[in-house]
Amino acid sequence: MNITSLTALFALCFSIACSPANTPADATFQTASGDVNFTVETVASGLQVPWALAWLPNGDILVTERPGRVRIVEKGKLREKPVFVVPDVEPSSESGLMDISLHPDFAKNKFIYLAYSYNTDGKKVKVVRYVYKNGEFTEPKIVIDNIPGAPNHAGMRARFGPDGKLYITAGDSTDWDLAQDLSSLAGKVLRLNDDGSIPKDNPFVGRKDVRAEIWTYGNRNPQGIAFQPATGLVFETEHGPSSFEGKGSGGDEVNILEAGKNYGWPVIHHTEKRDGMESPLLEYSPACAPASAMFYTGSVFKPFVGNFFFGCLRGQRIIRVRLDGRKVVGQEDLVSGAYGRIRDVAQGPDGFIYFTTSNQDGRGRPAADDDRILRIVPKPVDPPKAKEKPANAQ
Ligand SMILES: [Ca+2]
């Protein structure tokens, strides 16, 4: 936590005697570098572990709740009843209904993709494509299933890249060795066509005993993936080891993913290096628990354009990374400790930055209206006050 945000938080808590998770939504913040002033507004409250956000063309927001519900914020108001309840979801510990994505050609084909755990005790994960018709989820088609899952380390994001392919981040399902096992889909990032078929240019196509869906491997529990606008580079966040695994704690990662590469887990972790394996671009110890990823491309916050953002659960903040292509130019924390655990971070069509809390997940200290969808909106700097004229001025 930087000095500016610490000061802001202490000042805030001093004035209203708050605990971190019940910071008022209209709190004002300034980035540590002083380039952006912003306030945080509540978009929706009373949710249960909102995992992912997606916008319909009319500006309404679809949000997944981990127990298995898809909710909708219509014209700024959360509808009381879910739009859809996944019939075969199996929520358990960290897993359940996770990601939601619209197809890049949604306006034409109305395809929406849901990623969720199913079967007994959340032991498997799948991605299902629906047709969103007349406000309903219809015509389910399995895009991929039987991805090893577990109550913990189930991943998962399923997001479209600029190449029109679906990138699916699969956790190691708490079975480390699977991350290096190319006959398993666990601990991998997968790449598929929009109908679930395997792209011909995937790195392991044609290799015997290797799953051709695999795009990268050695990924422990990736929960964020985003595509750098200027370069198309694939940035990914993943959780590092837990202390029970005996490999130390912390070691959370930001990686730049490239086809066919090995990101090391469980052979290397933290900043360790080994030939034939990729060490992370950024590493965080103690753990921040990165749970999402986005690049800012809007016009509302000019200084944020091209920056990489992700939400942190245990770290209770949003991390902003300034990049020049692959090179990290700087980074700073936003809203540190102010709203508790943060899951998704996403840019709305209005150019504001939306994020979701995860204080109802059993590991947080929920405020009365948690969980929430919040958004970062600009706060204009007050113009300097005109100097008072001396009393004897003419
Ligand atoms: Ca790694």
CATH number of the domain to which 322 belongs: 2.120.10.30
Nearest to 215 by CA among 197, 185, 190: 190
pLDDT of residue 8: 47
* Ligand 1 centre distance from Cα of residue 220 (Å): 7
153 is catalytic: yes
pLDDT at 6 over 80: no
User: Is residue 3 assigned to a domain?
Assistant: no
Return mean pLDDT, the chain: 92
Please state the rounded mean pLDDT for residues 349-376.
96
pLDDT of residue 300: 97
Whether the per-residue pLDDT at 170 is higher than 80: the answer is yes
Does any domain span residue 161?
Answer: yes
CA distance 252 to 255: 10
- For residue 122, name the pLDDT band (cuts at 50, 70, 90): confident
Is 5 within a domain?
no
11 domain-assigned: no
Residues 6+ apart with CB under 8 A from 359: 21, 340, 341, 365, 366, 367, 370, 371
Answer yes or no: is 387 within a domain: no
In the reported structure, the alpha carbon of residue 385 is separated from the centroid of ligand 1 by a whole-number distance in angstroms of 52
Identify the band that residue 25 occupies on the pLDDT scale cut at 50, 70 and 90: low
Residue 63 falls within a domain, yes or no? yes
Alpha carbon distance 111, 65 (integer Å) = 19
Q: Quick one: which of 308, 153, 290, 296 has its CA closest to 235?
A: 308
What is the 94 CA–ligand 1 centroid distance (Å)?
20
Confidence of residue 7 (pLDDT cuts 50, 70, 90): very low
The angle formed by the CA atoms of residues 297, 130 and 237, to the nearest 5 degrees, is: 40
pLDDT computed for residue 336 by the predictor: 97
Q: Classify strands 327-334 and 342-347 as parallel, antiparallel or unpaired.
A: unpaired
**Which pLDDT belongs to residue 11?**
39
In a domain, 342, yes or no: yes
Structure token pair of residue 210: 């290797």
Name the DSSP letter for residue 295: E
pLDDT at 387 over 60: no
Please provide the distance, in angstroms rounded to a whole number, between the alpha carbons at the two ends of the chain.
50
Whether the predicted pLDDT of 390 surpasses 80: no
Q: Could you tell me if 125 and 156 are in contact, meaning their C-beta atoms sit under 8 angstroms apart?
A: yes
The catalytic position among 153, 239, 269, 270 is: 153
Q: Output the CA 382–ligand 1 centroid distance in Å.
A: 45
Work out how many domains the chain is built from and give that number.
Answer: 1
**Domain range spanning residue 234?**
18-378
171: CA distance to ligand 1 center in Å?
12
7 in a domain, yes or no?
Answer: no
Contact predicate 168/160, CB 8 Å: no
Q: What is the pTM of this model?
A: 0.91
Q: For 370, which DSSP code?
A: -
pLDDT in tens, 123-166: 899 999 999 999 999 999 999 999 999 888 999 999 999 999 99
Query: Higher pLDDT residue, 227 or 121?
Result: 227
Does 10 have pLDDT greater than 90?
no
| pLDDT value at residue 27 | 80
Q: Are 107 and 156 in contact (CB under 8 A)?
A: no
In the beta sheet, which residues pair with residue 188? 170, 217
Contact (CB, 8 A) for 125 and 115: yes
Alpha-carbon distances, residue 278 vs 2, 138, 225, 240, 387 (angstroms):
29, 41, 17, 14, 58
* Distance from Cα 255 to the centre of ligand 1, integer Å: 8
